[in-house]
Amino acid sequence: MGIRSLLSRPLAQYIVQQQQEWIVRSEEVQKIWRRTLVKKAAGTRFGKDHYFKDIHTYEDFKQAVPVRDYEDLKPYVEYILAEESDVLWPGKPLYFAKTSGTTSGTKYIPITHDSISNHIDSARNALLTYIHETGKSEFLDKKLIFLSGSPVLDKKAGIHTGRLSGISNHHVPGYLRTNQMPSYETNCIEDWETKLDRIIDETIDQPMSLISGIPPWVQMYFDRIMERTGKKIKDVFPDFSLFVYGGVNFEPYRAKLFDSIGKKIDSIELYPASEGFLAYQDSQDEEGLLLLLDTGIFFEFIPVENYFDQNPKRLSIGEVETGKNYAVVINSNAGLWGYSIGDTVKFVSTQPYRVIVSGRIKHFISAFGEHVIGEEVEKALQYAMERHPETGVVEFTVAPMVTPPEGGLPYHEWLIEFATPPQNPEAFAQDLDRRLTELNVYYDDLITGSILRRLVITPLPKNAFIDHMRSQGKLGGQNKVPRLSNDRQIADSLRSLPKK
């Protein structure tokens, strides 16, 4: 047993003891965080605008702080970008996490000196909790790979700016840096194809024990290794014993990933977001992810059925119930207030509070981490139709093709019922895809990185959507086919309709 493995065990025990202390006081801990956050931000521009000094109860808080998304928060971010201090949180942000926006384009999510530990310590604690539960720590003595974005950061208004994974790379603990892979130089390569080949060059003969990343990116890494060696991953990396993942629904990838590995290994699911590290899997035996209630975030939950109400019902942690879907709202020491992150969760336990991520509050596609939303596909289609004015569209829906039957890279399949088809279908598809890459930076990254190939259009026969709705018993004005699905249930139903 190496020094890292040996020293991790008492640290793991200490972290889990601390964890247990706040778990048994979850409701009280959340009340303390609400008061602490409001008190510390009372002198900020946001705190003054929302009368933080007059907030004493949760009811006061809900009256003063409305639920908002990035569009509502953006004016305050603009003050920060104009180099103003004490806007959302005392001082200036330490970083901006750059992420894909909706109507406003790129979003700049603040990460402060106070909130950075939420991101870094939570990732560390997920591993330590695993070590404490299983007694397995030897993986720390071998090589660990974190497949992530480039750690090269830009600056906006003097604030370091980049993808969250790149920011996090700068905070990997020193005791792990000597066995962290890939090298910093390789991690800085922007082109994913080039970067992946270099990563394989650096890792293929190393004793890899932990591999972490978004599942489709890890699968591509595995595929390339198997192409090069002709071996399963277990035979290339016999020490590989722990897979750490997050960012997308794992289920579509599970079978292929473990088939590529060639053996069953332990895994840890994480729930990180640019807005905060919200939860992690704390048990190999229990369902769900432990909600992190003592890391600088005051959580609120809106029942999904009330989300679009004018004054939606907002619940604190002590008011939630298992089995119900809630939209997640956070207030944090990053300066996010009443911030709806767009995710929905379902509690599977309240002792402790464990959740599963059940979806998004609006329809979307994020089978590969792209977070494509309805507005983006509608704008892309409008653009293509303007470029091809002879085209008429009756209805459409978009779904991921994770494992194409013909082989090759996965893609987005657009199932379109045309009133009048485009004269040049290939040019129409190219314009549609190009516009979508302009609207969504994550989709662009996946296309340029050869994680996805360009979208594929499947023309549908006349009345296909009507026939589909009829087959589902949902034919009527109040029922609509979602523009986007994160699975293939609707797409496969449309494709399986009898040909006319």
101 with 210, same domain?
Answer: yes
* Co-location of 10 and 107 in the same domain: yes
395 and 279 co-located in one domain = no
| Pairing relationship of beta strands 353-360 and 289-291 according to DSSP bridges | antiparallel
Mapped onto helix, strand or coil, the DSSP state of residue 303 is strand
Residue 346 domain flag: no
Note whether residue 316 is domain-resident: no
Supply the pTM of this predicted model. 0.77
Cα distance between residue 93 and residue 114, in whole Å: 9
Task: Give the length of the chain.
Answer: 500
The DSSP output letter for 59 is H
CA dihedral of residues 144, 148, 152, 153 (deg, nearest 10): -120
CB 116 within 8 A of CB 83: no
DSSP β-bridge partners for residue 289: 355
Query: Where residue 411 sits, what CATH number does that domain have?
Result: 3.30.300
Mean pLDDT by runs of 10 across the 500 residues of the chain is: 87 96 97 98 98 97 96 95 97 91 71 96 95 95 88 93 88 81 90 87 96 85 94 97 85 78 95 95 95 98 88 96 93 98 91 88 80 81 93 89 93 93 97 95 93 96 85 58 86 84
Q: Which helix (H) or strand (E) holds 350?
A: strand 339-350
Q: For residue 221, what are its two tokens? A: 């890494």
216 and 248 in contact (C-beta within 8 Å)?
yes
In angstroms, the CA 27 to CA 318 distance is 6
Tell me the C-alpha distance between 194 and 150, whole Å: 13
Residue 289, classed as helix, strand or coil, is strand
* Contact present, 294 and 22 (Cβ < 8 Å): yes
CA-nearest of 231, 239, 172 to 208 is 239
Q: Would you tell me how many other CB atoms lie within 10 Å of the CB of residue 425?
A: 14
Q: Is the dihedral of CA 418, 422, 427, 433 positive or negative?
A: negative
Separation of alpha carbons 443 and 457, rounded Å: 17
Per the structure, how many domains does the chain have?
Answer: 2
- The residue behind tokens 């309805």 is 374
Q: Do 291 and 172 belong to one domain?
A: yes
Q: Is 248 contained in some domain?
A: yes
Q: Which of 240, 274, 296 is the last residue of a domain?
A: 296
Task: Give the C-alpha separation, 80 to 406, whole Å.
Answer: 49
Continuous segment of H or E residues that includes residue 374: helix 374-387
No. of helices (H) and no. of strands (E), the chain:
18, 20
Please check whether residues 240 and 369 belong to one and the same domain: no
Whether a cis peptide bond, with omega within 30° of 0, leads into 151 is no
Could you identify the residue written with the tokens 């720590």?
Answer: 137
Quick one: tokens of 148?
């992530």
Tell whether 491 is covered by a domain. Answer: yes
Q: How far is CA 386 from the centre of its chain?
A: 33
Structure tokens at 161: 């700016």
304 within some domain: no
Residue 163 Cα distances to 68, 95, 148, 153, angstroms: 22, 10, 9, 8
Identify whether residues 288 and 387 lie together within a single domain: no
- Domain membership of residue 354 (yes or no) is no
Q: Which residue among 254, 272, 296 closes a domain?
A: 296
The pLDDT, as a whole number, for residue 249 is 67
Written as six digits, the tokens of 167 are 């920011």
CA 70 to CA 79: how far, in whole Å?
A: 14
β-partners of residue 355 are 289, 347
> Given 272, 296, 320, which residue is the final one in a domain?
296
Q: Are 334 and 275 in contact (CB under 8 A)?
A: yes
CA distance 320 to 299: 11
At 483 the pLDDT is 82
Q: Which of 171, 130, 174, 65 is nearest to 269 (CA)?
A: 130
CA distance 286 to 444: 37
Residue 376: exposure state from Cβ atoms within 10 A (0-12, 13-18, ≥19): buried
Q: Is residue 330 part of a domain?
A: no
Q: For residue 157, what are the contacts with CB-CB under 8 A and spacing of at least 6?
A: 80, 81, 82, 83
Cβ pair 101, 69 in contact under 8 A: no
Parent domain of 111: 1-296
* Residues 266/209, Cβ–Cβ less than 8 Å: no
Question: What are the backbone dihedrals phi and psi of residue 498, each rounded to the nearest 5 degrees, phi first?
Answer: -60, 140
DSSP label at residue 369:
S
Nearest residue to 330 (alpha-carbon basis) of 12, 120, 94, 37: 37
Q: Report, in angstroms and rounded to the nearest whole number, the Rg of the chain calculated over CA atoms.
A: 24
User: Which is nearest to 171 in space by CA: 203, 146, 193?
Assistant: 146
> How many other C-beta atoms are found inside a 10 Å radius of the C-beta of residue 420?
12
Same domain, 131 and 8: yes
Residue 311 CB neighbours (<10 A):
9
Same domain, 95 and 229: yes
Residue 315 counted as domain residue: no
What does the alpha-carbon distance between residue 146 and residue 141 come to, in Å, rounded to a whole number?
A: 15
Domain match, 292 and 435 both: no
Residue 240 sits in the same domain as residue 106: yes
